[in-house]
Amino acid sequence: MTQTSENVTWLTQEAYNQLKAELEHLSGPARTEIAVKIAAAREEGDLRENGGYHAAKEEQGKMELRVRQLTQLLEHAKVGEAPADDGVVEPGMVVTIAFDGDEDDTTTFLLASREYASSDIETYSPQSPLGVGVNGKRTGEDAEYELPNGKTATVKILAAKPYTG
């Protein structure tokens, strides 16, 4: 899991290894594959009307952006332990909240950076308004956060457990 403070990102060893492996793949085999695609598309002729060429170049641009993001993230990463199972909301926790104290209107999410976003569970950044509001709160406490319209909303922390993947 990650916890960002200033330019430091805290990662578990498992998360660090996973991101490092992604970076190595993108910097090596994936770069070679995209270069082959671009060369093959270039040989098809007129580049102005060559959809395959433009798609490959766009894919290359996105891949290079991800390489830069991962490089920067890992340069500033500190490896640490997963958060303790102590009911305190912090990055790396799966949090269940009730809106306006209505325990029938709940949502559960992972408080973590977008590197952890998955289809399994909704992920909120610790820097998001809701993330800032709940971070540091304990199970049973209320938390306030600012809505996009400038108003304040209140949620009750129902549970906070370490994310187990």
Give the tens place of pLDDT for each residue, 43-91. Answer: 887 777 788 888 999 999 999 999 998 898 888 777 766 677 788 898 8
Residue 43: the pLDDT is: 86
CA–chain centroid gap for 162, Å, is: 16
Domains of the chain: 3-80 (1.10.287.180), 93-162 (3.10.50.30)
What is the tens place of the pLDDT at every residue in 91-121? 888 999 998 767 788 999 988 876 666 667 7
Share above pLDDT 70 across residues of the chain, in percent, rounded to a whole number? 87
Of residues 21 and 14, the one with the higher pLDDT is 21
